[in-house]
Structure 1
Amino acid sequence: MTPNTPSLLNEAHRELVRALEELHRAAGHPGMRKVSLLIAEGDYPAAVSHEGVRTTLKGLNIPRWETVQSIVAALAAACVDPPRDPTAEVARFLPLWRVVREGEPGGIKSARELALSRGWGTDDGQWTAEAVVGMMINPFNAIEIAPSLAVPHKPLISEDEWVQVGVRLIDENGAEFALRALLRTLKGDYLGAEEGSPFGYHYRDQDAVEMHTAFRYGCDRILQRLATEPNLLQRSISAMHADETMDREDRIEMLRAESDASLMREVMIATPETWQELSEEAHHQIWGYLIKRIEPVGRFGLPPDQRFRITWRIPQPATA
């Protein structure tokens, strides 16, 4: 069925008439002459006779947009309980009227209208043509977007420049190529992915986020081992003291912390059950005893168990 077939136009016209009838009812069913008078007294784009109001509301003709616009704005202004915004109502009726005049494509906003509008749907939760397009084109519904692309950052180019680059890419290589390239990028295969920096951009707090993520991952793994390996903490303390490869500054810091009797009492009662009761200083001290080194081995954005590798002071049992 082509967009301009009579059956589609008739259904579109019926939908427009139903919407006009609902608005007319919400305004209190004013008479045709009353509506014509309201339009005449107001600042509307067209004067509409009472006969013009009648034929439009009854669906007896396909009116000009200025006629529909004036009737809709006047009726919306007459709504009291609850009130309606005439501007919003006119915007709601425009795509309904355009489908009647232009067929199905008329129901979709132009690129400029989409850029100037806010949101995708309507306040009543009804699906619009733009909302359907927005859902279908959103890569979130097809793939898991790489977390590294979601960090706050300063854009390198404007939205208009990005759109123009996309249009040129589609013109030169085709829409399918452009869309598949977009999906591939959003899945994490982008320039700079190995460094975790999209297109060379470095998130200013990326190092801090990495350190926090590594620390939390190490703590989770420590709790897993403490729950299943007897005397692991004591054995790790001995291994730390015997480690001649340990960085001098790190050793000094660990030994200085050991002089704090209160801190060491916390450390020595560490179990998965008491972990949340311990101070952050105790967590760091236990970390230093059990973990010799943690380093990134996977690209930024991967789950911690794929992103980091832990070197333990006491190797994990083979069964683990």
Structure 2
Amino acid sequence: MATRSVPSPNGAHQELVRALEELHRAAGHPGMRKVSALIAEGDHPAVVSHEGVRTALKGLNVPRWETVQSIVAVLATACVDPPRDPTAEVARFLPLWRAVREGEPGGMKSARELALSQGWGTDDGHWTAEAVVGVMINPFNAIEIAPSLAVPHEPLVSEDEWVQLGTGLIEEYGAEFALRAILRNLKGDYLGAEEGSPFGYEFPDQEAVEAHTAFRYGCDRLLQRLATEPNLLQRSIVAMHADETMDREDRIEMLRAESDASLMREVMVASPETWHELSEEAQHQVFGYLIKTIGPVGRFGLPPEQRFHIVWRIAEPPPA
């Protein structure tokens, strides 16, 4: 069904009609047949009869978006004093039409539209739904932002990557945790702040942080293999002892650990089920048996599987 009959415009529909009337007036009150003809002549998403133009402008029905889009583009093109950008006018009318069709939530831009749009409000100074959210979400209105965060700097990750990381944080730990973590950072309590590192980008213990992240990722991967590959640990121990390319200091450390009978009893029962019961020393020993090397290959912000490359002592079996 192309349209939905409405007895008389009210609420959100009335706002849409008023905006259409204002645009029609700014375009010089072109006739309905003239508007219909201009739509037909141009590259527009809908063909609108003169009766369709009339009913839309008079608020006699709620037209399809393609109809509103076509009418608005033609009327905006006709405005000369002052001129109006058809693309900007179409963007202005979209939330008005959505509010009619979808209710109050429909008046809000999508996340992608917000990212692509400029500013928060309209030139006429009216408050938009996005403007209200912008004031409420702006940390400046709740805290004093640390001065070190308020100067020009080179971003560590892109905006899209930052949003993806934040979305994952919210999904895993909840919105309250994420928002309070953001406020804590903005107040100056960020990694590297105590050591005076601007923005936390040059955290003095960055190598330790990288090593810990790589270790946790490697543990996750080796547990996946231990769960599906029989005797993997025993075969990896044999491979380690036979590895003539192994660093001398690493070999000495592994052999010294093997002299601890209590530690080795822990190591030999390592499995996904017992992993969290093992001491940290036992976990490191198992890690050394299964993984020859693990190193960063991608920059910060990428998923672990894209950041770290693992060289196994026993190669992974080919996928089934």
Could you tell me the TM-score, scaled by structure 1's length? 0.58
What is the Cα deviation at residue 70 of structure 1?
A: 0.6
Is the 1:148–1:198 Cα contact (8 Å) retained in structure 2?
yes
The equivalent residue for 2:89 is: 89
Q: Counterparts of 2:106 and 2:192 in 1: how far apart (Å)? A: 42
Spell out, residue by residue over 1:102-152, the C-alpha distance to the aligned partner (whole angstroms, 9 max, x if none).
111111111111112222222233222111111111101111100011232
SS of 1:118's partner is coil
Match of 1:54 in 2: 54
Superposition map of 1:12-51 within 5 A: 12-51=12-51
Could you list the per-position Cα deviations for residues 213-257 of structure 1 after superposition, in whole angstroms to 9, with x for gaps in the alignment? xxxxxxxxxxxxxxxxxxxxxxxxxxxxxxxxxxxxxxxxxxxxx
Give the whole-Å Cα distance in 1 for the aligned partners of 2:153 and 2:85.
37
Q: In the aligned structure 1, how far is the partner of 2:201 from the partner of 2:171? A: 28
| 1:49 partner letter | S
Residue in 2 that maps onto 1:11: 11
Partner of 1:114: 114
Q: Name the structure 2 match of 1:161.
A: 161
Asked if the contact 1:99–1:107 (Cα under 8 Å) also holds between the matched residues in 2, the reply is yes
Aligned to 1:100: 100
**Structure 2 portions without partners, runs of 5+:** 1-5, 204-320
Corresponding letter in the other structure for 1:23? L
Question: Helix, strand or coil: the match of 1:84?
Answer: coil
Opposite residue 71 of structure 1, the aligned amino acid is I
Question: Percent identity, aligned pairs only?
Answer: 86
Deviations 1:11-52 (A, max 9, x none): 000000000000111111112111111212222111100110
SS of match in other structure, 1:140: helix
Alignment coverage as a number of residue pairs: 196
- 2:161 maps to a residue whose letter is E
User: How many angstroms does 1:10 deviate by?
Assistant: 3.4
Give 1:197's aligned amino acid: S
Select the structure of larger CA radius of gyration: 1
- Deviation, structure 1 residue 186: 0.6
Paired with 2:149 and 2:86, the residues of 1 have a C-alpha distance of 41
- In 2, the alpha carbon distance for the partners of 1:175 and 1:10 equals 36
Tell me by how many angstroms 1:202 deviates: 5.0
Find the counterpart in structure 1 of residue 133 from structure 2: 133
Distance, in Å, in 2 between the alignment partners of 1:152 and 1:58 is 51
Moved >6 Å (runs of 4+): none
- Separation in 1 of the partners of 2:25 and 2:200? 59
Amino acid at match of 1:89: E
The amino acid that maps onto 2:109 is: K
Q: Give the alignment's TM-score, normalised by structure 2.
A: 0.58
Q: Deviations over 1:64-116 (max 9, x none)?
A: 00100011111111112111111111111011001111111111111111112
CA contact under 8 A between 1:148 and 1:196: conserved in structure 2?
no
Question: Using the alignment, how far apart are the partners of 1:148 and 1:20 within structure 2?
Answer: 48
User: What's the CA shift string for 1:153-204, capped at 9, x where partnerless?
Assistant: 222222111111111111111111111111111111111111222564259x
Which whole-Å CA distance do the structure 2 matches of 1:199 and 1:29 have between them?
56
Secondary structure, in 3 states, of the residue corresponding to 2:80?
Answer: coil
The 5 A counterparts of 1:238-257 are: none
Alpha-carbon RMSD across the aligned residues, in angstroms, is: 1.9
**C-alpha contact 1:39 1:48 (8 A) present in aligned 2:** yes
